[in-house]
Structure 1
Amino acid sequence: MFSPHGPSLRELTVQALSSVERGYDLLAPKFDDTPFRTPDAILEATAAALPGRFGRGLDVCCGTGAGLTVLEAVCDRPVTGVDFSAGMLARARADHPGATLVRADVRALPFAGEFDLAVTFGALGHFLPAERPAVFEGVHRALRPGGLFAFPVGAPPPVTSVAHWAALGFDLAMRVRNAVWRPPFVMYYRTTSLPALSVDLMAAGFSVRTAALGLPGRWQLVLARKDTFIRAG
């Protein structure tokens, strides 16, 4: 499951008993050697499926910078990554010296009308459903009119599959852990279905469509467009 350079079981245990921020600070030096990093196949398929080229790009919850490679491939102007883990940002800075990296809570993004494209990879499970509207509203605010917010979503595995029961077991384990241990570590795989995400995106002011990525697991790219007009009220 992990490469020889990945974290040990002890290191993963310490991370799991930490807060999300502290856990990722600890994991950052070895994060790219774990299965938690978004695979290159998904990154490459996302870059290929994005409609055209863009100006400035924003990677929301950029981690060690895997998504910055997508932005650098499709954006003609400087790109920005935002994350609340100083450790992850330090790793991203080493690999992407040309990017602007900002430490911030993405539930309160400090941007307004600055970007043409925003992306995120593998991060939405770190937000409870009640927290997602603030994230999506912040992304909407950060984009220029007509800007695009894009991210990949895999189809739920069939109930007869090992993947389904593994995800269910992981989510149940996390709920038990968070019920008996503080600080909480929020990471749930079953709270980010495409219908639920679409509802929250539309409530934030996006129009939503999807494009197939042609990858195993029936991955789709969510393409959420910020309206070009200003809503009354």
Structure 2
Amino acid sequence: MFSSQGPSLRELATQALSSVEHGYDLLAPKFDHTPFRTPDSLLAASADALRPLGPFGPGLDVCCGTGAGMRMLEPLCRGRVAGVDFSAGMLAQARGAHPEAAWVRADVRALPFAEAFDLAVSFGSLGHFLPAERPALFAGVYRALRPGGLFAFPIGAPQPITSGWYWALLGFDMAMRVRNAVWHPPFVMYYLTCPLHAVRDDLTAAGFRVTTAPLAALGQREDGSPQFGLVLARRPERPD
């Protein structure tokens, strides 16, 4: 799973026993050599789904990490592009890879923007927020978008209970809950706490109009449904 340039087991253990912020600061120099980086196939499929909805003006990558999302965000946007994250280490890597973009260090649960962007995207970040924290995250993205702006992020289909992946993800979440119960500071990263129906409800409560688009290029499940979909949350031109 890890290349020779990736973190060692000892480095991963140190990161896992840190806070989320400090853990990612430690992991940042080697993050792009781990399976945690957003795959190029997911970025490409998301860009393909968004392209017919554009072109867009300014764009924002929420929880940008080392900046992988900029590869798809920049070609979609005619205005300035920016990334926001709370890890200084991850932002340093992003800035080195994409010096032309703006990089902002902030807690995304209190985004420091108001009606500044036409498009916001996020990749692989929802598991870092407890369900009770999602309303603040989504409210901040809503404020950051101009009227008519779009918030988009991919989400995987739920794994069937007969799947090995389901039990692997459940086991990871249970291990993380035990870790956070006995060790502080907590490291919040869960895979099964953000099902589509709950995310849709929170987005709707924040004021978005929510649809989804299949990412067919990423494959289908046995029942023919897509493995991944792109959530499209639109800020209305006028409040409902």
TM bracket, shorter-chain basis = over 0.9
User: Which amino acid letter does the alignment assign opposite residue 120 of structure 1?
Assistant: S
User: Which amino acid letter does the alignment assign opposite residue 39 of structure 1?
Assistant: P
How far the C-alpha of 1:157 sits from its partner, in A, is 1.2
How far the C-alpha of 1:230 sits from its partner, in A, is 3.1
1:68-96: CA deviation from partner (whole Å, max 9, x where unpaired): 11110200111000000000000000001
1:139-158: CA deviation from partner (whole Å, max 9, x where unpaired): 00000000000000010111
Map residues 210-221 of structure 1 onto 2, 5 A cutoff.
210-214=212-216, 215-216=218-219, 218-221=227-230
Tell me the TM-score normalized by structure 2.
0.95
Distance 1:68 1:21 in 2: 21
User: Which amino acid letter does the alignment assign opposite residue 72 of structure 2?
Assistant: V
Q: Secondary structure at the match of 2:132?
A: coil
Distance 2:103 2:54 in 1: 24
Aligned counterpart in structure 2 of residue 196 of structure 1, from 182, 195, 198: 198
**Contact 1:78–1:98 under 8 Å retained in 2:** no
Residue 2 of structure 1 corresponds to: 2
1:140-192: CA deviation from partner (whole Å, max 9, x where unpaired): 00000000000000101111111100000000000000000000000000011
Residue 43 of structure 1 corresponds to: 43
Question: Deviating runs (4+, > 4 A) in structure 1?
Answer: none
Q: CA RMSD in A?
A: 0.8
Percent of paired sites with the same residue:
71
Distance 1:127 1:53 in 2: 30
Residue 152 of structure 1 corresponds to: 154
Residue 84 of structure 1 corresponds to: 86
Tell me the TM-score normalized by structure 1.
0.98
Distance 2:20 2:103 in 1: 19
Q: Report how many residues are paired.
A: 231
**Contact 1:65–1:95 under 8 Å retained in 2:** yes
Moved more, 61-70 or 175-184: 61-70
Distance 1:106 1:82 in 2: 7
Residue 17 of structure 1 corresponds to: 17
Map residues 9-158 of structure 1 onto 2, 5 A cutoff.
9-50=9-50, 51-158=53-160
Distance 1:32 1:186 in 2: 20
How far the C-alpha of 1:52 sits from its partner, in A, is 2.1
Give unpaired runs (5+ residues) of structure 2.
Answer: 221-226
Q: Secondary structure at the match of 2:131?
A: coil
Residue 182 of structure 1 corresponds to: 184
Distance 1:158 1:8 in 2: 32
User: Which amino acid letter does the alignment assign opposite residue 228 of structure 1?
Assistant: E
Q: Secondary structure at the match of 1:119?
A: strand
Distance 1:20 1:128 in 2: 13
How far the C-alpha of 1:126 sits from its partner, in A, is 0.2
